[in-house]
Amino acid sequence: MAVNVLLVVAVLFAASAAAGLNLGVTDERLRFGAIVVSALLLLFVNLIILRRRFSPLETLIARLEEIDPAQPTTQFVVPTTNVEEVERLAITFRRLLKRIEDERRRSGRLVLRAQEEERRRLARDLHDEVNQALTAILLRLQALSESAPPELAGEITELKTLVNQAMTELLRLARQLRPASLDDMGLIAALESQITRFSQQTGIQAVLHHEGAPDSISEDQQTVIYRVVQEALSNTAQHSDATFVDFELRVFPSHGVELRVRDNGKGFDAARGADGGPGIGLSGMAERARLVGGELTVTSSPGSGTRVRLYIPQ
């Protein structure tokens, strides 16, 4: 616009000088005034056209700057405009966001599968090799106790107790890494087993309600649901001071999968996290949900318990 103003003014004075316009004559002053008014009107019309042309672009830039990198495609809406170039740019950018999101989910699922496979291998090694070694030590201690002097009986018994404790802790760690029931008996059995152990260990009442056919859930989705339940139980035990936690899993044939978790604990500020920080556990749950195209929402406030909802569309 500034360049246009300078050009018009320069041309106006150059033309006046070239024509030998004498501003001392009334008629020529009127002509010069008419030319100036015409130039100003031209500049005003030019300004209006430029604003109409570029205001949709400013709107598009503002919307792009407001996009949350965690959920780019759901927050970006193509603005309504009659400027074809801006509309094409917005549509192209939305397609780019969609391709980036698809690639992130694909690579994330590959990472998730690799991680779970490594967990499965470690759990199998702990259960088969390390646990067998501890069992052999326990058998040797049992044989040693039969021929050892009476004064060593107490120490041998203490060693056997320590070995039994190590085996129990080892099996618990193996189940946390990758529960065999999730691969052998399916998602519902694995969840029920985990919730039962949680109630026995913590004294917190936990129940699971489910409806629908869990067989329609993919392996990646089952893994995400199991890990979300695992993290929710851990948060309940560590932070909530709850006495009851309820899990509801519903499988809709045409809509997807929904998991709801609620407890009667002390609650927390959901914007800051359970421990006053950014909420690393909650962020991990949300990231796992996004890897399978799902969405995780957490609702909580001090004194009102906590609600967690995981939804994975079909």
Q: What is the pLDDT of residues 159-202, one digit of tens each?
A: 888 888 888 888 778 777 777 777 778 888 888 988 998 898 88
Q: Is residue 167 part of a domain?
A: no
pLDDT value at residue 275: 47
Same domain, 208 and 312: yes
3-class DSSP state for residue 263?
strand
Identify any residues that bridge with 256 across adjacent strands, giving them in sequence order.
252, 313
- Considering the entire predicted model, what is its pTM? 0.62
Q: For residue 295, count CB atoms less than 10 angstroms from its CB and return exposed for 0-12, middle for 13-18, buried for 19 or more.
A: middle
Domain ranges, residue 70: 2-103
Same domain, 197 and 310: yes
Q: Is residue 212 part of a domain?
A: yes
Same domain, 98 and 193: no
Q: Is residue 142 part of a domain?
A: no
The residue type at 211: E
Measured CA to CA in angstroms, residue 127 lies from 23, 39, 163, 171, 274 at distances of 104, 88, 14, 7, 33
**Of 59, 86, 103, the domain-final residue:** 103
Nearest Cα neighbor of 292 from 108, 94, 69, 73 is: 108
How far is Cα of residue 223 from the mean position of the Cα atoms in its chain?
15
pLDDT value at residue 277: 41
**Of 103, 123, 139, the domain-final residue:** 103
Q: Is residue 108 part of a domain?
A: no
Q: Are strands 256-263 and 244-252 parallel, antiparallel or unpaired?
A: antiparallel
Indicate which CATH number applies to the domain containing 227.
3.30.565.10
Low-confidence ranges of the chain (pLDDT < 70): 21-26, 69-77, 270-280
pLDDT value at residue 278: 40
Q: For residue 67, count CB atoms less than 10 angstroms from its CB and return exposed for 0-12, middle for 13-18, buried for 19 or more.
A: middle
Q: Is residue 114 part of a domain?
A: no
Provide Rg for the chain, Cα atoms.
Answer: 35
Nearest Cα neighbor of 305 from 258, 275, 270, 277 is: 270
Q: d(Cα 3, Cα 6) in Å, to the nearest integer?
A: 5
Phi–psi pair at 149, nearest 5 degrees: -60, 155
pLDDT value at residue 126: 79
Q: d(Cα 226, Cα 72) in Å, to the nearest integer?
A: 26
Q: For residue 178, count CB atoms less than 10 angstroms from its CB and return exposed for 0-12, middle for 13-18, buried for 19 or more.
A: buried
Q: Is residue 264 part of a domain?
A: yes
Measured CA to CA in angstroms, residue 306 lies from 224, 283, 312 at distances of 20, 15, 20
Within 10 angstroms of residue 1's Cβ, the number of other Cβ atoms is 10
Q: Is residue 129 part of a domain?
A: no
3-class DSSP state for residue 23?
coil
3-class DSSP state for residue 206?
strand
Counting the structural domains of the chain, the total is 2
Q: Is residue 220 part of a domain?
A: yes
**Of 103, 134, 164, the domain-final residue:** 103
